Amino acid sequence: MKSIIFLCCLLIISLTCFAQQITTPYNFPVKSDNPQWRKFKSRTEMAEALQIPSDILKNLTTEALAKTCLNFPMFKDLYFFNTIQTGFNNLKQSFNGFQELLTRNDAAIELLKLYKLMNPEEIVHEANDTLKGDFSFHFVEIEILLAQEELINSLSPDTEAELLKEAALKYEQKKATSEFSSFSLSPSMLVAGRILDKKGRLQNLKATYTNNEIQNFLSTGLANNPQLLEQILSLSKN
């Protein structure tokens, strides 16, 4: 009898593990270039159409879920808000994919893998300003995800150091091309700044800014002071 129960438990565990292995990103049924998209009368209707069915959501691998979130058709709604963090907070409330991703312990690791494959310098190969804008926004998307406190707090020391190094590299590569706006530059240092702040390495810098400028940047992702970004960069490399 005990053997039968043991075998049944093994079968249940095996079936559960198998069910969790959806390795292909979710294919959104409606996209912004679809005629049906223009029939929506509100952002609420759009968001409802883009929810991932629960039986798929829970069974997506973290890699597939990360790619799904980066493909979210409403991601550019970040432009509608005063700051990218405010924008992301609203998008998170609207999309169950973001909510699920931020609960995954390995979300930062999978996003970092994708982040390392991205090369800002390739923007020069884009044919026009529209395509260049789309290219630069892909960095905003992945960096605002990586900058979320749920992911920053989940980092191991080694992954933390790796992400800090990569964010600094991406910032320098963006600057070298002269094709990225301040809106696209800031998220790299938002990732770095939140890591440094977690480690207590921004205290001296904060003391030089008596107007809470650093804390405002860390809270909103909005930086109007290029010098501040450069100072965070310098700390990221030390």
- Rounded to whole angstroms, the Cα distance separating 60 from 123 reads 31
pTM: 0.90
Are 157 and 185 in contact, with CB atoms under 8 Å apart?
no
Query: Would the pLDDT of 12 be above 50?
Result: no
pLDDT band for position 3 (cuts 50, 70, 90): low
Model pLDDT, residue 15: 47
Model pLDDT, residue 14: 46
Beta bridge partners of 60: 22
Model pLDDT, residue 7: 44
Phi, psi of 218 (to 5 degrees): -65, -30
- Rounded to whole angstroms, the Cα distance separating 132 from 16 reads 43
